[in-house]
A and B are shown apart, each in its own frame.
Chain A
Amino acid sequence: MSRENNTVEPSYLDYKGKYKGIFSWILSTDHKRIAILYLFSLLAFFATGATLGLLMKLELIAPGKTIMTAQTYNAFFTLHGIIMIFAVVIPGLPAVFGNFLLPIMIGAKDVAFPRLNLLSWYFYVAGVTLVLISQFTGQGPPDTGWTFYAPYSFRTTGNMLPAVFGAFVLGFSSILTGLNFLVTIHRMRAPGMTWLKMPLFPWTLYATGWVQLLATPIIGITLLMIIAERTLHIGFFDPTLGGDPLLYQHLFWTYSHPAVYIMILPAMGAISEIIPTFCHKTIFGYKFIVASSIAIAFVGYFIWGHHMFTSGMSGTALYTFSLLTFLVAIPSAIKVFNWIATMYKGSIDLQTPFYWALGFLFVFMIGGFTGLILGSLATDIHLHNTHFVVSHFHFIVFGGTGFAFFGAMHYWYPKITGKMYDTRWANTGLIIFFAGFITLYGEMIFLGMKGMPRRYYDYDEVFHTGNIFSSLGAIVMYFGLAVIIINLIASLRNGAKAPSDPWGGKTLEWTIPSPPPVENFDEIPVITKGPYNYK
């Protein structure tokens, strides 16, 4: 490569390739540029999903019809679910931060299959486009919820086919990303980086990769069956043709439960990076964290039935799934203990990413405890169809994955953009967001315990006060999110130049300039020590 200014390798942001302008992004096979493509598309979808969520909470601020009809509410929670699950939290950390950092953290120049990587972004965008098309064509938007439960999904007149096929395409994108990461980790670690010298974020991506690879095909085929059912009347899940709707739920959750671990594992990985960096201390129990990631991925595959406790499974299946569900809490708890033990006697540097990590620990534990309550058969029967479940789910997925996503965003922002952000605004945004979050979802726990059913646009007058709190919380949270994102965007322009290692991190990404050069490393590093080597 001959350039005038040959002394310094150009950063991936400045590099001039074959294509100009927008094409230098959407035709790029550089893992860093693909990560940015994911980041911006993902933020756009996140904004859409969050706005739908806010509108739903506004509807619930008073009983009866407030701003939308029941049918609109159904369409909104369906679209909110599909977008947030399939297009935001599942690809979230792997596709954005995994793409950007995995090759750098293991000392490689790119992922194993760069063109496949770009292809999976195209699948991602195509999938979301199909989902959005379903909203505006045919006989009205889908209204089944993101779970597409049979037999409603093939009886409703809503425009299901593009939405279901869109989810299928999104699954394909996720499989390709997972496959790519697995091969990358197997084949492209820097010399000397043995499995147990690999940082924890790549480790969780590895565990996630297997789940993406081995669970997603099940939902792929299930969605194809729904399509066949609607178009060809095959009768897989239609009770009038001898099918069993419960079998749909089995298959659906065989994927969608492990999918929760696709969401949470990389989040745990990001937290495992942030905590040692800001404690300036080696992570406590590295091997246990690695083993618990694998254990979560493995056990997580066999506990799907706890989504079906009230669906009418056999007693034996109920007990088994309940027992296995409790088992999965063990490795999750191991991680939490290890993170806290890492902080013990560390020299803690209170920066924004660390606050996010603390927030993560807090909300993740609430999510975990409410999960144990739902994992017990008797309590689940009371709580299953109430807002308690909605709250538990958001504490885990928004609280867990979402907090880790923003934590990672603030942690790696200097590396990705080459700029520092405004810490004061970042912390202010976090405080507003956190206050809104706790009010919104915390209140929902109590509403659920009192018996407020989920999936309705209306409710009994008894729940009114709680819902006012909860909806106000939603407004505050939405405002906090806006502050956080606007601050990050404004810092692109106004931020000070970031040094290569602003936080004193020890993993490989901090050894190269910010933003990283096109080829990441001038010379592939040789690894001799473990990843968190603080003296």
Chain B
Amino acid sequence: MENEKNHIIPYKTFLYVLAGLIALTLTSVTLTQISLGAMTVTIALIIAAVKSSFVLSIFMHLKFENKMFSRAVIGVILLLSAVIAITLLDYLNR
């Protein structure tokens, strides 16, 4: 079976992404030092989600692979969220 030609990502792209990831990390840390009350965790998790989408799409090549992979990843994330939500359905209503 032939192996289709692979996309070559330039070194620069990785360095840009790294800079972005570090910036996001530092933002996240700084924001938690300022008291944002209940929002702190939400913001930290949103930033984490943005960071992971970078890692998934660029570092893990999802952006350049067969669409099947990204769909499966999204599916798994949704599944896990659904399981957490259903479990919390019990705890939030006790």
| A317 x B83 contact (CB < 8 A) | no
Segment touching B, from A9-17, A228-236, A308-316, A486-494: A308-316
A250 CA to B76 CA, complexed, in Å: 19
Return the CB mask of B80-94 against A: 1 if under 8 Å, else 0. Answer: 001100110111111
**Which single member of A218, A246, A314 contacts B93 (CB below 8 Å)?**
A314
| A214 x B76 contact (CB < 8 A) | yes
| A254 x B83 contact (CB < 8 A) | yes
| B79 x A314 contact (CB < 8 A) | no
Known: A250-B87, A302-B86. A317 touches B79 (CB 8 A): no
A window 243-280: CB within 8 A of B: 246-247, 250, 254
Taking CB atoms, residues of chain B closer than 8 Å to A214 are: 76, 79
A192 CA to B93 CA, complexed, in Å: 52
Taking CB atoms, residues of chain B closer than 8 Å to A246 are: 90
Q: Is A320 an interface residue (CB 8 A)?
A: yes
| B79 x A301 contact (CB < 8 A) | yes
Taking CB atoms, residues of chain B closer than 8 Å to A247 are: 87
| B76 x A314 contact (CB < 8 A) | no
Q: Is A220 an interface residue (CB 8 A)?
A: no
Taking CB atoms, residues of chain A closer than 8 Å to B90 are: 246, 250, 305, 313-314, 316-317
**Which single member of B82, B87, B89 contacts A316 (CB below 8 Å)?**
B89
Taking CB atoms, residues of chain B closer than 8 Å to A320 are: 86, 89
| A317 x B89 contact (CB < 8 A) | yes
Give the Cβ gap from B80 to chain A, nearest Cβ, in Å.
9
A88 CA to B71 CA, complexed, in Å: 33
A301 CA to B90 CA, complexed, in Å: 16
Return the CB mask of B25-65 against A: 1 if under 8 Å, else 0. Answer: 00000000000000000000000000000000000000000
Taking CB atoms, residues of chain A closer than 8 Å to B83 are: 218, 254, 301-302
Taking CB atoms, residues of chain B closer than 8 Å to A254 are: 83, 87
| B93 x A315 contact (CB < 8 A) | yes
Known: A214-B76, A250-B87, A320-B89. A314 touches B82 (CB 8 A): no
The number of chain B residues touching the other chain, given as a range, is: 10 to 19
Max chain A CB contacts within 10 Å: which of B1, B86, B93?
B86
Give the Cβ gap from A158 to chain B, nearest Cβ, in Å.
29
| A314 x B86 contact (CB < 8 A) | no
A203 CA to B85 CA, complexed, in Å: 29
| B89 x A314 contact (CB < 8 A) | yes
Please give me the residue from chain A that is nearest to B79 by CB atom.
A214
A window 205-250: CB within 8 A of B: 214, 218, 246-247, 250
Give the Cβ gap from B89 to chain A, nearest Cβ, in Å.
5
A305 CA to B94 CA, complexed, in Å: 15
Please give me the residue from chain B that is nearest to A303 by CB atom.
B86
Please give me the residue from chain B that is nearest to A314 by CB atom.
B93
Please give me the residue from chain B that is nearest to A324 by CB atom.
B86
A218 CA to B80 CA, complexed, in Å: 10
Please give me the residue from chain A that is nearest to B1 by CB atom.
A187
Taking CB atoms, residues of chain A closer than 8 Å to B94 are: 313-314
Taking CB atoms, residues of chain B closer than 8 Å to A301 are: 79, 82-83
Taking CB atoms, residues of chain A closer than 8 Å to B92 are: 314
| A316 x B76 contact (CB < 8 A) | no
Taking CB atoms, residues of chain B closer than 8 Å to A305 are: 86, 90
Please give me the residue from chain A that is nearest to B88 by CB atom.
A317
Taking CB atoms, residues of chain B closer than 8 Å to A250 are: 87, 90
A315 CA to B1 CA, complexed, in Å: 55
Give the Cβ gap from B67 to chain A, nearest Cβ, in Å.
13
Please give me the residue from chain B that is nearest to A244 by CB atom.
B91
A218 CA to B76 CA, complexed, in Å: 13
Please give me the residue from chain B that is nearest to A315 by CB atom.
B93
Taking CB atoms, residues of chain B closer than 8 Å to A313 are: 90, 94
Taking CB atoms, residues of chain B closer than 8 Å to A315 are: 93
Give the Cβ gap from A469 to chain B, nearest Cβ, in Å.
40
| B93 x A316 contact (CB < 8 A) | yes
Give the Cβ gap from A309 to chain B, nearest Cβ, in Å.
12
A428 CA to B31 CA, complexed, in Å: 75
A window 292-349: CB within 8 A of B: 301-302, 305, 313-317, 320
A247 CA to B87 CA, complexed, in Å: 9
A window 427-479: CB within 8 A of B: none
A50 CA to B29 CA, complexed, in Å: 59
A313 CA to B92 CA, complexed, in Å: 11
A117 CA to B92 CA, complexed, in Å: 43
A320 CA to B92 CA, complexed, in Å: 14
A317 CA to B89 CA, complexed, in Å: 6
Taking CB atoms, residues of chain B closer than 8 Å to A302 are: 82-83, 86
| B82 x A317 contact (CB < 8 A) | no
Give the Cβ gap from B75 to chain A, nearest Cβ, in Å.
9
Give the Cβ gap from B87 to chain A, nearest Cβ, in Å.
5
Taking CB atoms, residues of chain A closer than 8 Å to B89 are: 314, 316-317, 320
Taking CB atoms, residues of chain A closer than 8 Å to B79 are: 214, 301
Report B's interface with A, CB cutoff 8 A.
1, 76, 79, 82-83, 86-87, 89-94
A-B contact pairs, 8 of them (CB 8 A): A247-B87, A250-B87, A301-B79, A313-B90, A314-B90, A317-B89, A317-B90, A320-B86
Can you add 4 more A-B contacts, CB < 8 Å, to A302-B82, A305-B86, A313-B94?
Answer: A214-B79, A301-B83, A314-B93, A320-B86
| Top 9 A-B residue pairs of the complex, sorted by shortest distance between their CB atoms | A314-B93, A317-B90, A316-B93, A314-B94, A313-B90, A317-B89, A314-B90, A250-B87, A316-B89
